[in-house]
Amino acid sequence: MFRKLFFVVLLLVVFFTSRAQLKSPEEFLGYKIGTRYTPHFKLVNYFQHVAAAVPSMVKLQTYGTTNEGRPLLFAVVASPEHLQQIDQLRANNIRLANLSRDKMAPQEENAPAFVWLSYNVHGNETSSSEASMLTIYELVNPAVTATKAWLKNTVVLIDPCLNPDGRDRYINWFNSIVGKTFNPQRIAREHREPWPGGRSNHYNFDLNRDWAWQTQVESQQRIQLYNQWMPQVHVDFHEQGINEPYYFAPAAEPLHEVITGWQREFQVSIGKNHAKYFDKNGWLYFTRERFDLLYPSYGDTYPTYNGSIGMTYEQGGIGAGLGVIVEEGDTLTLTDRAQHHFTTSLSTVEIASLHAGRLIKEYRKFFNDATSTGFGEHKSYVVKYEARNQERFEKLIQLLTKNGIQFTSATGVPAKGFNYFSGKEESFTAGANDLLVSALQPRSAMVKVLFEPRTKLTDSITYDITAWALPYVFGLNAYASKDKLPAGAAINIRNTVTNPETSYGYVIPWNGTKTVKTVGRLLQKGILLRYAEQPFEVNGQQFDRGAVIVLKTSNQKFGDGLWKTVRETANADGVQLYPVSSGFVDKGFDFGSEMVHPFRAPRVVLATGEGVGGNAAGELWHFFDQELEYPVTLINVNDLSRANWNEIDVLVMPDGNYRFLNNKEELDAFKAWISKGGRVVALEGAVAQLAKADIGLKVKKADEGEKKDKAPGYDALHEYQHREREAISGYTPGSVWKVDLDNSHPLAFGYPAFYYTLKQDDNLYEFMKEGWNVGVIKKENQVAGFVGAALQPRLKDGLLFGAQQIGNGTVNLLSDNVLFRSFWENGKLMFCNAVFLSGQ
């Protein structure tokens, strides 16, 4: 009896001792939150401490790692009763969304609402990760009874830092230059973050634009986890300019039409709950402004289109450091910023708890409606299969798979639908090799958002691009049908390629980035290649312009191991090789013709540093490093004058401000390098700067016929209240246009006679008289997205993509971003053409 009593007492002592070991962030770190920055490893240490101290309420896991090897953490915070059955609760939540593979019925009654809090997606928006530590402590602190009541019908999911690499980049810099006491003067260097800043991840990508596209390793790992939980509420914590009051829901217009009445209604409820606490503390805030719910790849829209109440919270503070004087004269501190995010974190959990039953009911209805009637007028989307587009076809399938979107093949039935390429309703056959995506599925809202030919705007003042339909992104013809088409068999992507042997040579069709990767790897191994300027046919097989030819004749030094190396390289990349036994072709030019050129490995430099767009440079760096695996040297623009131009074949100039173009001596040296055979690949704003420097082309001005006769001074008459709307009449935030291509030029090899571009500015250029006008916009070529009324008539009869020969060199001009956020798949081959082919 006494022994049993002893053990009971011992267990109670151990229990309460472990509880007593729980420390607040201040006790654990040794400083009050907001008085110093917490590096990521200490953030990790604190979450591990909480999980160890309160294992009955916290389950911590590492769901991935960043490019720089930092862990990505995920904490599940729940009542002891819920945590004991967390796997069953999660499985039930997936059943509520009609996403479970088992056939068990979901339980709505007493099901907890899942609330996901995402902190610090932008590394230099630092206050939210500090707030995450306050939040988890408050949720598990035994002295706080209110949060325990909330956890009776909620489960809180916390990602304390979505972007550890960016956060540490900022914090390490700040800690290296701040004094004993922070300086709140705005001009102080601690408020002037150097290039590229901590906002982005390792590759300078904005992770808050990557939720749907998942081009980055952090996004890929996070969305895989997200789709295993599918929360009812999701919050994405941010910071904005230092003079801005706090922003929280409800969101601004435009709201996408798939957003339900309940999702809109509950945003108001959440906003009112936050306002109650902010009013009590005398904190300023605003709602319904600036931050809309349209572009599908944000941390608020992506969850919203997946059935959640998705929201962005914005605290003033970018560049504030530990404290900064704002325009009103007050000092905004990190402590203030963290407290504001802490307050909305708890308020979100509170309001979700109060309405947990309704959240579950409406969540269930969202997914039942999705599977029964679907979102939108179109019930089926058919993407046509063409062998030459197989790589992009497979990449589309991969994107759908990553987003949990269901698809099958079609069945060969006749159908009617909107043709994305012609812009008309047409009859077509949904072939057995075509991709069929039904709108009647759990992720119906996401399907509509990603595939709709034209997105409806309730307000033309938007925060991001307004067109992104996947058929245009991937350059694949497709149809949107209002009919429910029958599903066919499952579609499987080729996992392996086994290439046949040859004794003479191989031909590699130039039709995608996988081909470019293989060719680049062969060049790096020292294998000599050639490419065809004109189409040809051999052994009954037709090959288009740009086809790469590998011959034994030029590679005798490799002996018998040549073909094994070529096959192993191509097999590893999933690239099909076509064996040939002779250089004599059936049609076209033989392999020894002057129309078949040597393919040389270019030495590529990418301009980076101050003045260059960080995201723009990052897209290109990531593309070379991760997709092509081709060597590229990153040189800061300010160091270009010290570079050995004889060791540079190609200079890639991302969007940016290149001051050396305004220096006559440096500009002359740059032109001399081009004349000797140098090649330039200029993108976006870099093209405009080259035009100003009289290199390549001229900006197209409005035609005289477009100017209307008005009374003197008429243009000066404006109403102040309409200034924002008048400003947008001359711009496009991101719209899709059809570009006519001269695909006989190497810059457009691998393309049909057209290309769909994402236009984000008003730049258009005059046709070049002595250069090659490869990609041009003709009249009425807009396809989708918002374009201001004043800009619309100007975007016609002009140049977007071209090549200008200067001496022995070439300037390749890509005035639109063909690699936009690394998801605009159809533009990647054009960039490769500019780097590897055009000007060879």
For 557-574, what is each residue's pLDDT tens digit? 999 899 999 999 999 999
What is the greatest pairwise CA distance in the chain? 104
Percent of the chain with pLDDT over 70: 95
Query: Which of 508, 613, 525 lies closest to 571 in space, CA to CA?
Result: 508
Question: What amino acid occupies position 307?
Answer: G
For range 382-390, the mean pLDDT = 95
- Residue 259 in tokens: 């957003």
Is the peptide bond between 254 and the residue preceding it cis, with omega within 30 degrees of 0? yes
Residue 50's H or E segment, with its range, is helix 40-53
Lowest mean pLDDT among 472-486, 541-555, 780-794: 780-794
- At 186 the pLDDT is 97
- At 461 the pLDDT is 82
- At 718 the pLDDT is 67
Q: What is the dihedral of CA 378, 380, 381, 382, to 10 degrees?
A: -140
How far apart (Å, rounded) are the C-alpha atoms in residues 480 and 447? 11
- At 725 the pLDDT is 64
- Residue 49 in tokens: 């401490």
Residue 833 dihedral angles phi and psi, to the nearest 5°: -60, -40
HEC assignment per residue over 71-97: EEEEEEECCHHHHHCHHHHHHHHHHHC
Residues 6+ apart with CB under 8 A from 802: 696, 697, 747, 765, 768, 771, 772, 773, 774, 775, 812, 813
Task: Calculate Rg over the CA atoms of the chain.
Answer: 29
How far apart (Å, rounded) are the C-alpha atoms in residues 156 and 143? 18
Residue 81 dihedral angles phi and psi, to the nearest 5°: -65, -45
pLDDT at 178 over 60: yes
- At 75 the pLDDT is 98
- At 366 the pLDDT is 98
- At 682 the pLDDT is 98
Mapping DSSP to helix (H, G, I), strand (E, B) and coil, where does residue 139 land?
Answer: helix
DSSP state of 702: P
Residues 6+ apart with CB under 8 A from 187: none
How far apart (Å, rounded) are the C-alpha atoms in residues 687 and 674? 15
Q: Do residues 65 and 202 touch, judged by C-beta distance below 8 A?
A: no
Question: For 425-457, how does the pLDDT look when each residue is reduced to its tens digit (9 = 90+)?
Answer: 999 999 999 999 999 999 999 999 999 999 998
pLDDT at 382 over 50: yes
608: left (phi over 0), alpha (psi -120 to 50) or beta: beta
Question: For 577-600, how does the pLDDT look when each residue is reduced to its tens digit (9 = 90+)?
Answer: 999 999 999 999 999 999 999 999
Q: How many angstroms separate the Cα of 281 from the Cα of each of 138, 243, 275, 344?
A: 19, 18, 10, 13
- At 731 the pLDDT is 84
- At 131 the pLDDT is 98
How far apart (Å, rounded) are the C-alpha atoms in residues 831 and 771? 18
Q: In sequence order, what E strands does 659-716 have? A: 679-683
Residue 572's H or E segment, with its range, is helix 562-573
- Residue 831 in tokens: 């960039």
Q: Do residues 308 and 113 touch, judged by C-beta distance below 8 A?
A: no
- At 716 the pLDDT is 61
- At 779 the pLDDT is 86
- At 70 the pLDDT is 98
Enumerate the β-bridge partners of residue 617. Answer: none
pLDDT at 20 over 90: no
For range 8-28, the mean pLDDT = 64
Question: What's the pTM?
Answer: 0.95
Q: How many angstroms separate the Cα of 554 from the Cα of each of 43, 69, 236, 543, 589?
A: 57, 43, 57, 21, 18
How far apart (Å, rounded) are the C-alpha atoms in residues 763 and 342? 44
Q: Do residues 285 and 313 touch, judged by C-beta distance below 8 A?
A: no
Q: How many residues does the chain have?
A: 840
Question: For 304-347, how does the pLDDT look when each residue is reduced to its tens digit (9 = 90+)?
Answer: 999 999 999 999 999 999 999 999 999 999 999 999 999 999 99
Q: What is the dihedral of CA 564, 565, 571, 573, to 10 degrees?
A: 180
Percent of the chain with pLDDT over 90: 90
Mapping DSSP to helix (H, G, I), strand (E, B) and coil, where does residue 254 land?
Answer: strand
Q: Do residues 472 and 782 touch, judged by C-beta distance below 8 A?
A: no
Identify how many contiguous H helices and E strands the chain contains and give both numbers. Answer: 23, 35
- Residue 551 in tokens: 């011959």
Alpha-helical segments (H) within 355-455: 356-372, 390-402, 444-451
Lowest mean pLDDT among 132-136, 315-319, 629-633, 723-727: 723-727
| Gap between the terminal Cα atoms of the chain | 92
- At 18 the pLDDT is 46
Residue 429's H or E segment, with its range, is strand 424-430
Average pLDDT across the chain, whole number? 94
Q: Do residues 739 and 757 touch, judged by C-beta distance below 8 A?
A: yes
Question: For 250-278, how does the pLDDT look when each residue is reduced to its tens digit (9 = 90+)?
Answer: 999 999 999 999 999 999 999 999 999 99
Q: Do residues 816 and 824 touch, judged by C-beta distance below 8 A?
A: no
Lowest mean pLDDT among 6-15, 353-362, 432-441, 635-644: 6-15
Is the peptide bond between 71 and the residue preceding it cis, with omega within 30 degrees of 0? no
How far apart (Å, rounded) are the C-alpha atoms in residues 737 and 163? 34
Question: Distance between alpha carbon 123 and the CA centroid of its chain, in Å?
Answer: 16
Residue 829's H or E segment, with its range, is helix 828-836
DSSP state of 421: T
Mapping DSSP to helix (H, G, I), strand (E, B) and coil, where does residue 546 land?
Answer: coil
Residues 6+ apart with CB under 8 A from 422: none
How far apart (Å, rounded) are the C-alpha atoms in residues 549 and 578? 10
- Banded pLDDT at 64 (limits 50, 70, 90): very high
Q: Do residues 257 and 377 touch, judged by C-beta distance below 8 A?
A: no
For range 74-81, the mean pLDDT = 98
- At 709 the pLDDT is 44
- Strands 113-118, 233-240: pairing is parallel
